[in-house]
Structure 1
């Protein structure tokens, strides 16, 4: 078996661990594995990543539901707006050059990584936000995440979890809710773009199975590791991957 395939399948388990543990990060890790390790084109990578993340997130979300770590109302708003945004983003993504998609993906990874690594200060108590304002804020955030999901092949969890914690959700609920929303958003993006590329199903299905297996490890670790350390370590990983993608693109462009 090709060495690159063995490496990719080994890394698949880490993708599952990230999703099960953090409620996000599946796409930002799957994307470079498919594109850099396996050498698959950007558009096929996007669609394949959406499939992997949709299935793995759905499995992890089911376990989080049993733990009562899913906020259904918030998930409903994010899923509905994300579905609309995901379809629109998928159409936009088909119109953009692959180079632009890669740069956007890497840039978002870098910005998110920096935000994740910044120390979080305890917020002073604030008066409750009015329901209308809270609803508008949640709806706008969900729509924006959905657009990015469809256009870039990002499940959105690495954006949803920080967004939900900013909206006042505890980290466990943010992770559980994120997984459910990611499953819906990724499914929408996948179904929108599945007819645009030919997918290597044997590789994708094997990768998905290993990612699901890894998600069980992530779920088991989710209540045993300190959140701050996990967040910082994951931020470093995301930053490294984003910089690697940009560096690879620059080298390829200069070599052409």
Structure 2
């Protein structure tokens, strides 16, 4: 039953990841922590494997449709990989309950940002060149922050990558979504490689089942992204995040109060 539950959860996470270019780890970590009894450290490490490999497959699907901006994606990820390695080192040994509390706050912030953007009118503009000093500086800063979040919490950071690519570099939403998956894959690889050097103990059969299901879901999400109202999808996901955030915050608060 545990493997079956992992497969079902993995499909849902994959569809979200493939369709939105992020958000998969935000769901994966609490699911693994509360649904499968993993610690936050273990669930965040497992998330790096699941989301990283699933992102690679989803990128291939998007690339075949010509939606990946390889140059801007690699530039964004280059500094992010450094942040991911650093975040992995810093998070090791920190109190699990306080980490989960911080993660709950992160969920609330992400949900609020997604709700705000889903109700704001979209604006299309010409892509900005990285030769623009301001665009390059903001891109590198955003990449570093996203990388730190990836290493610290085990999240891909798509919720920050997509807005940075659209608002700062002017990429169309479809291209930003696809390029975000490239950044997530590279950052996740850097964070997981760092954690390997620090020691990793995972339930590999469960992680493998979850990963394979997420890959299937991510391919499906990447293929249907153009057929579904993206803003409606974001709004629904943001509401789901709010529910998870409030529940996680309450659970962690009770644990800290004991």
Same structural fold, with TM-score higher than 0.5 when normalized by the shorter chain: yes
Distance 2:202 2:172 in 1: 38
Instruction: Give the RMSD, CA atoms, in angstroms.
Output: 1.9
Moved more, 15-24 or 95-104: 95-104
Q: Which residue of 2 aligns with 1:97?
A: 95
Summarize deviations over 1:165-193 as a string: whole Å, max 9, x none.
Answer: 22122110110000000000011111111
Residue segments in structure 2 that go unaligned for 5+ positions in a row: none
Q: Decide whether the 8 Å contact of 2:61 with 2:219 is kept in 1.
A: no
Q: Decide whether the 8 Å contact of 1:8 with 1:33 is kept in 2.
A: no
1:142-221 aligned at under 5 Å gives the runs 142-167=143-168, 168-194=170-196, 195-221=198-224
Query: 1:14 and 1:124, CA in 2 relative to 1: closer, same or farther beyond 3 A?
Result: closer
Distance 2:252 2:141 in 1: 32
Q: Decide whether the 8 Å contact of 2:101 with 2:253 is kept in 1.
A: no
Per the alignment, in what secondary structure is the counterpart of residue 223 of structure 1? helix
Query: 1:34 and 1:172, CA in 2 relative to 1: closer, same or farther beyond 3 A?
Result: same
Provide TM-score, normalisation by structure 1: 0.92
Q: Which residue of 2 aligns with 1:31?
A: 29
Distance 1:135 1:93 in 2: 28
Q: Which residue of 1 aligns with 2:105?
A: 107
Distance 2:239 2:154 in 1: 21
Distance 1:143 1:115 in 2: 19
Distance 1:106 1:196 in 2: 26
Distance 2:214 2:187 in 1: 18
Aligned residues: 252
Query: 1:72 and 1:38, CA in 2 relative to 1: closer, same or farther beyond 3 A?
Result: same
Distance 2:125 2:255 in 1: 50
1:102-141 aligned at under 5 Å gives the runs 102-118=100-116, 119-122=119-122, 131-141=132-142
Distance 2:90 2:178 in 1: 29
Q: Decide whether the 8 Å contact of 1:53 with 1:183 is kept in 2.
A: yes
Q: Which residue of 2 aligns with 1:77?
A: 75
Query: 1:42 and 1:163, CA in 2 relative to 1: closer, same or farther beyond 3 A?
Result: same
Distance 1:122 1:70 in 2: 20
Distance 2:209 2:234 in 1: 28
Q: Decide whether the 8 Å contact of 2:85 with 2:191 is kept in 1.
A: yes
Distance 1:28 1:125 in 2: 29
Q: CA deviation at 1:162?
A: 2.0
Distance 1:184 1:144 in 2: 14
Distance 1:114 1:14 in 2: 21
